Chain A
């Protein structure tokens, strides 16, 4: 279907043939250098109260985006962001010297989300279903929804660590090393899990798009 690629709701990572390869931590630009947020967190851990605003400004957007995809309710996601920063502040003394703050912050956010989900038993966010563009025809909208739903269902059926590896690396742009530190697993394990998630989604998307092209004329 010409021109339909941009209408599919899932291709944040591209169409099936365009799925990118996993990168090494060393290939990430700036890998090995500490971010400004990490340096600010270092100062905050030593007692510089003003430095925490820098940490907030550098991380709040990313954390809110991450939590908004996990938690459907936007206001609850904001509450989780607030709790994440409060916990970072309370635990500043245990922030490891020379460490990067990003994996630590995402790990705290993830822990908070898991705790809140465990208590509330809410559904996983249906973040793969954005509203389609208004000018497209009904058939395209329907197909886009079906494809998005299929990918969403497949993603939700994956083991939690595969799903989270995919979200952190493909949606939050984390390196393999950062995602591994966030989830508390090795780099090799995170690569394996993310690759399995890609493979599963690739099969699903190909299957859905294949069904479309083979459909009745």
Chain B
């Protein structure tokens, strides 16, 4: 905003101007935002679940463990949806459950430090980033314009949640639970998604962004 060169207005004129501008600016009510957010969370979480359960890993057996991972993801999605629907900030548990769950997979692996080809690492990094950007983008679009004070921080939380979901779903799909692969190819991209979340949050979640009814 540049320095204005016009004269100050009378309080009545300013009031009329502001209220007219407010009336012309669309904004969702709490109910509308909660509905929009719930739809986005359901779409993202079911898509990720389907993505995770249709990979090569499922065909390799260990169905009980994969089902457990899927339950973890769903639980994280539900917590996130409840937090968002209540008007609160995107917070920790939705991201913490899948992120903590990933390193725990090493407990069930015979050789947790087995060497994997570099191609496998790169493929998982790219997949995690793409899935995270798509999921986080959809969530951010659903909540556009609703964080006027700390849009960057909200974007960071969004990036963390979307990154954690993406990491968990891609990890379940790829089926390589070795520790170095899990940390380097699934958890590390979450940090990149957090940074992307900060940038996107300022642009999309800040109330300067348009918000439709």
Contact = CB atoms under 8 A, between A and B. Distances in A.
A91 B207 contact: yes
A54 B88 CA distance: 25
Contact of B148 (A47, A56, A91, A119): A91
Interface in A78-96: 78-83, 85-96
Interface in B1-54: 1-9, 11, 14-15, 17-19, 21-23, 25-34
Contacts of A61: 11
B134 interface: no
A92 B29 contact: yes
A184 B150 contact: yes
A96 B88 contact: yes
B87 A90 contact: no
A79 B4 contact: yes
A136 interface: no
Given A93-B30, A120-B1, 9 more contacts: A60-B14, A75-B4, A85-B21, A91-B146, A94-B146, A94-B147, A108-B149, A120-B2, A184-B150
B3 A73 contact: yes
Nearest to A77: B8
Interface of B: 1-9, 11, 14-15, 17-19, 21-23, 25-34, 86-88, 143, 145-150, 207-208, 211
A93 B1 contact: no
A74 interface: yes
Interface string A88-121: 1111111111000000100110011001100110
A214 interface: no
8 closest residue pairs by CB, A with B: A93-B33, A75-B4, A87-B207, A74-B8, A87-B148, A47-B29, A116-B1, A94-B146
A51 to B, nearest CB: 11
Which of B4, B17, B86, B143 lies at the interface centre, i.e. has the most chain A CB atoms within 10 A of its CB?
A: B4
Interface in A35-76: 45-47, 49, 52-53, 56-57, 60-61, 64, 73-76
26 contacts: A45-B29, A45-B30, A46-B31, A57-B15, A61-B11, A73-B4, A75-B4, A75-B9, A78-B9, A79-B1, A79-B4, A80-B1, A82-B14, A82-B17, A85-B18, A89-B22, A89-B27, A90-B25, A90-B145, A90-B146, A94-B87, A95-B30, A96-B88, A108-B149, A115-B1, A120-B1
A79 B27 CA distance: 20
Contacts of B17: 82
Contact of B15 (A60, A87, A89): A60
Contacts of B146: 90-91, 93-94
B56 to A, nearest CB: 41
A93 B207 contact: no
Contacts of A86: 18, 21-22, 25, 207
A173 to B, nearest CB: 20
B14 A122 contact: no
A68 to B, nearest CB: 9
Contacts of A94: 33, 87, 143, 146-147
Given A46-B30, A73-B3, A85-B22, A91 B14 contact: no
Nearest to B8: A74
A92 B149 contact: no
Given A56-B18, A60-B14, A107 B149 contact: yes
